[in-house]
Structure 1
Amino acid sequence: MGGTLRVNSLAIQDRRGWQKPYELTGRLVGIIGPIDRGKSSMVDCIDFVLGRSVRFKGAVDDQLVAVKAGMQIGDEEVFLHRSRRRLGVVRVEDLAGDEIATVPINASGDQQELSDWLLARLGLDDAFASVRLPHDRRLSFASDLLPYLHVRQEDIDRFVIRPQTSADDAARLAVAKLLLELINPASERLGARIHDLNNEIRNKQRKADQVRDFLNASPETNSGTLDADLDRLRDDETQAAQRLKSLRDRARAATQFAEQRQQQVDRARQRLATAEDGVDWALRRHREKATALAQIDASLAELGEVAAASSEDRERLALLYDACPACETDLSSRAVPTGRCSLCTETLPGAAQHKEKQQLQRARERLVPEVAELEQNVTRARHAADLAREQLALARRAVDEDTADAVTPYVDAITAAATELEALRSEITTLERLKEPHRRLSERQEEINRLSEELDQAREQQVRVGAELNEPDDVLQRLNNLFGRVVSEFRLPWATGRARLDRDTLLPMVDDQDFDQRGGGSRTAVSVAYSLTLMMYALEDPTRFQLPQMLILDSPQKNLGRNDHDQDLATRIYRWIIDYFEVRREALGGRYETFQLVIVDNNIPTAVRSGFDTLIQFKDPHGFIRDLDHPHGEPAGYEQLALDDELDHDGL
């Protein structure tokens, strides 16, 4: 159902301050007065607070500072305030004048702008957001919905709703279909998705075809040729691998008799490992004893130096322990630094040095034969290791000699078979690289097939969504009936009564003539009839048409003459409008009480003025901006032109 949108009051601020508001309440509002009194500027002020960029003229352009309009938008009654000093925002106030929000005309990022704010309150935000226009332009309230609600003076005889350029007409038609529910957000999003899928499939298929044609143009890259060559080479590879395996198996069978020899090699290798371990053990034992003997010799040498010193310089030792007094462990073989106690390792007094020397000499006497014996053990271990090494070499040589005659006949064949197999695999690798573009092409074709399936699903879903929309033929028939009735009541000159809307453009045609084929006055009447038809349809069938129930008609008598014939036409138009809405109001009430029709004209026939709920009349010399002397500036004085004396003398 179309949302409520109506203007209750309009106040302006000029250079002198805020003026008294104009009250615009009522279903039918008339604004009349002589030319150049600011009537069009008054309704342009309504557009101004609704976000449209307005080019004011004359005194209004010079004097206007700000506009404040009391409006009902959806279920809310608010004031919209916009200043020419801050054109980028509209201040929203409650009825007490307290600020509700400051909404930007054009927002950045995720900030809500005025168009979205208005559309949301009219229940049209989702529908308008779903439409995708050329160059990623979005539908907006001021640019795309407001032209349906305000037929302006300069446009009323030039075009219907909007100029018929491709971009503007696409937006006009999209809004009409949305409002008439011939499309909805779901169908638009599906339509956009179908459009994108079609483009994506078409582009990918074109590129895939180009690559396929290029690859198949050459025998070296032709897919069929490559597949045949690869099949042949893989068969050859299988056969070559089988031949190589057979040769190796036969060579291995021919050398099975050498198993006993190999066992001898293994035993010789084990004996060598044992002998080498014996060498390592003998070396470690010899190194330990030799190190201890060297330490004793060093200690004896130091004691000799002590003995050479005078007796007075020697220290005395009261007691020398041969064993630990705590655990009775023998300390006689303990290696300690020369001149230190074997028990506590402190420096020995001179009296103990003799005993220490004797003890060291006894330890040396025991170590010397041990070291000599260990040296012999090392020599014997090394000899045993050398013998084991020679035995291992002899065993290996015997294995090689026994197997050489059996394996030699197979060596060349195995080498040739391995070389052949490697060459085949290298050629297969090369062809598989050439096949890679075909593989990627196949993947791309699979992606195209997947997108095609997605496209089919989107189309099926579009059919299901379309079943929930209004039937175009039904909508068009209803509109044609209403439009034909309005045109018939207007009784346009020379009209035959054939009035309808074009099926594709939803624009009016009278007597099969397009809008721009008719004369100026007739175009004005057709434009008025078309806008009234849309409003009537919104009121008579609000569940099928979402147009907000407000209409501003500026100069419906434009291009009509002052003659009786044209004035009769104007009177018929006004009379029919008043009678139609009054009859509907009395019979149905409801929405016929809440809609608003604002008509701006130089003169509304006196006979029909009583049908207006509110009539604002500007009488000379007053205009839209009250109490403004000389709206266009101080009048200039005039000079009497005098003829030149010489010209006068010539009789001119």
Structure 2
Amino acid sequence: MGHLDTWFKPARAHLFKLMFGLTDSTVLELARLLGLLKEQLRAKTAEYENVQRFLAAADPRTDEELRAELANLRDMLQRADSALAALRHELAENSAADAVLRQELREAVESARQAAQDVLAAQELLEAREAVVAQIEVDLSRLERSATAIEKLSPFDFVVCPRCMQRLNARPVPDDHCLVCLQPDPADDDVDPAAIQQTRSALEQQLQDARAVLAADAEVLQTAQERVQQADFLARTLRRQLDAQTRDMVAPRFEAIADASARAATLRASIDAVSQLRDYWARARAIDQAVRDIKERRARATTDKKARTAELAAREGLVTDLSRNFNSMVADLRPAPWIESATIDPATYLPLINGGSFETLQADGGGIVTCINVAYSLTLLEFGITHHDVLVPSLLIIDSPRKASGTNTDDQERGRRIYHRLQALAETYGPRIQLIIADNDSAPIPSDTFGKIELDYVHPMVPGVLHPGPGHTSRTEDEYEDRSR
């Protein structure tokens, strides 16, 4: 049964052991557990070796040396933090004496900043005033040019274009439009010299007022600039005084604080590095402990498996008995005269003919192979009937035992011996077994022991089973299961 299938071969052997009680679920579960523990042990061992190689490459110190180094670094860090705290306390006391001067300096700096903002605002306002004055001057200049042009050009009527010198008298132009630009002519009131003079006077007055405001804003800017200079001078003076007071007292302490802070930071970095290495050592110890635990579990499982296997070892004699019965069955059926011995391999539970594997018989003819197959199956069937603790099924179905045999006298005689053996089993064990033989012809020996069902093209089905018809696409047994439900 699939003994040549690489995947099915272990399952077939385990099935045989289960039927004969050579193993049980406990042994199989322990074997599965041992395989799982083997994989886990290999993985954990590889992980432990990787961590060990990393530690050896990263730092040659041992875990004990790292622990001592870590304790020393923490003690040094505590002393550095204490010294840093003392320096900061001294600095805080010295800074209290300079609080008044620092407050004056902050006020002077704030005053200088506010004065600078006032200067910027005054400059922006002055620039706006200058723009207004410039615009009025431009408007006044434009008015002067326009009045001069009106005064000079209004008495003239152009008969030619002043640009291209073409005549204009033949040009159709409305009466109230200019002959040159074709724009509507302004009314006489618009070019009145009195109106122009009035506009000129208004612009001159606006210019005078704007210049006065500009002068006032310039004075404001000058005053703001003077305040900036005074505030900057005061701030520089106070800063020099503060620097002179703190140069000999505060600056050295700042340097000491910076040095102490740098040392504390270096110590903390060293502590982190050593702690990380110790974490790897802790991981290595945890992995090593896991390896030891797996080995202990594997040892316990191996011991349990050996103990249970030893309990079942007494049943190995069943295979010897089965081998002896198989030899007797082959001797009765006589597949071939050159067969001297037939045994059961205790490792594979497969037939051995003359000490050789079953596969070596394939070239000796299908009838011999079929006979040995039948002998092997009948031996198992009878052994299961005579041994109640052997779980071999009491049903045996043999498909076409004479199909592979020849038609000569020896082949026919071999077939009769097989059927005589079937008859003997049926008569001996009666309803305790069930034999179903699907053959190409009826039994070669006359006997009332065999019940016969003949199948042909007219009656191809077992009586009581309806023919599904040519369009049938499902199994008949499935249909009967559905009906029973």
Look up the match of 2:423: 578
Look up the match of 2:90: 250
Are 1:349 and 2:190 counterparts? Answer: yes
Look up the match of 2:101: 261
Are 1:395 and 2:234 counterparts? Answer: no
Contact map agreement 2:70 2:271 (CA 8 A) in 1? yes
1:552-591 equivalences under 5 Å are 552=399, 554=401, 574-581=419-426, 587=431
Look up the match of 1:379: 222
Cα separation, partners in 2 of 1:254 and 1:547, compared to 1, 3 Å: farther
| Rounded Cα–Cα distance in structure 1 between residues aligned with 2:373 and 2:107 | 116
Look up the match of 1:406: 249
Cα separation, partners in 2 of 1:523 and 1:472, compared to 1, 3 Å: farther
Deviation at 1:205, TM superposition (A): 0.9
| Rounded Cα–Cα distance in structure 2 between residues aligned with 1:256 and 1:402 | 12
Are 1:223 and 2:223 counterparts? Answer: no
Cα deviation, 1:197-224, whole Å, max 9, x if unaligned, reads 5224224314514653784699724333
Cα deviation, 1:58-78, whole Å, max 9, x if unaligned, reads xxxxxxxxxxxxxxxxxxxxx
1:525-544 equivalences under 5 Å are 528-535=374-381
Counterpart of 1:551 in 2: which secondary structure?
Answer: strand
- Which of the pair is proportionally richer in helix? 2
TM norm structure 2: 0.60
Look up the match of 1:30: none
1:164-179 equivalences under 5 Å are 170=10, 172-174=12-14, 176=16
Cα separation, partners in 2 of 1:280 and 1:255, compared to 1, 3 Å: same
Unaligned runs of 5+ in 2: 156-188, 335-341, 456-485
Cα separation, partners in 2 of 1:550 and 1:479, compared to 1, 3 Å: farther
| Rounded Cα–Cα distance in structure 2 between residues aligned with 1:612 and 1:377 | 136
Contact map agreement 1:479 1:537 (CA 8 A) in 2? no
| Rounded Cα–Cα distance in structure 1 between residues aligned with 2:220 and 2:26 | 100
TM norm structure 1: 0.47
Counterpart of 2:66 in 1: which secondary structure?
Answer: helix
Counterpart of 1:405 in 2: which secondary structure?
Answer: coil
Cα deviation, 1:303-331, whole Å, max 9, x if unaligned, reads 1101212438569xxxxxxxxxxxxxxxx
Counterpart of 2:149 in 1: which secondary structure?
Answer: coil
1:112-511 equivalences under 5 Å are 145=1, 170=10, 172-174=12-14, 176=16, 195-209=35-49, 211-212=51-52, 215=55, 220-311=60-151, 313=153, 349-351=190-192, 352-408=195-251, 410-411=253-254, 413-425=256-268, 427-428=270-271, 431=274, 438=281, 441=284, 452=294, 505-507=348-350
Counterpart of 1:220 in 2: which secondary structure?
Answer: coil
Deviation at 1:571, TM superposition (A): 6.1
Cα separation, partners in 2 of 1:537 and 1:613, compared to 1, 3 Å: farther
Amino acid at match of 2:213: E
- Which of the pair is proportionally richer in strand? 1
Cα deviation, 1:20-55, whole Å, max 9, x if unaligned, reads xxxxxxxxxxxxxxxxxxxxxxxxxxxxxxxxxxxx
1 or 2 for the larger relative contact order (CA 8 Å, sep ≥6)? Answer: 1
Cα separation, partners in 2 of 1:308 and 1:609, compared to 1, 3 Å: same
Are 1:613 and 2:414 counterparts? Answer: no
| Rounded Cα–Cα distance in structure 2 between residues aligned with 1:248 and 1:597 | 105
| Rounded Cα–Cα distance in structure 2 between residues aligned with 1:288 and 1:546 | 116
Deviation at 1:446, TM superposition (A): 7.9
| Rounded Cα–Cα distance in structure 1 between residues aligned with 2:327 and 2:149 | 149
Amino acid at match of 1:366: D
Cα deviation, 1:402-446, whole Å, max 9, x if unaligned, reads 222332553554354345334434544554675575466467558
Contact map agreement 2:22 2:313 (CA 8 A) in 1? no
Counterpart of 1:255 in 2: which secondary structure?
Answer: helix
- Pick the aligned partner of 2:436 from 596, 611, 615: 596
Contact map agreement 2:47 2:287 (CA 8 A) in 1? no
Which stretch shows the higher mean deviation, 571-580 or 274-283? 571-580
Deviation at 1:170, TM superposition (A): 3.6
Unaligned runs of 5+ in 1: 1-144, 148-160, 316-347, 494-498, 617-652
Larger radius of gyration: 2
Cα deviation, 1:316-347, whole Å, max 9, x if unaligned, reads xxxxxxxxxxxxxxxxxxxxxxxxxxxxxxxx
| Rounded Cα–Cα distance in structure 2 between residues aligned with 1:291 and 1:207 | 83
Q: How many residues matched?
A: 396
Cα RMSD (Å): 5.7
Percent of pairs with identical residues: 20
Cα separation, partners in 2 of 1:481 and 1:183, compared to 1, 3 Å: closer
| Rounded Cα–Cα distance in structure 2 between residues aligned with 1:306 and 1:489 | 144
Cα separation, partners in 2 of 1:553 and 1:484, compared to 1, 3 Å: farther
| Rounded Cα–Cα distance in structure 2 between residues aligned with 1:305 and 1:227 | 99
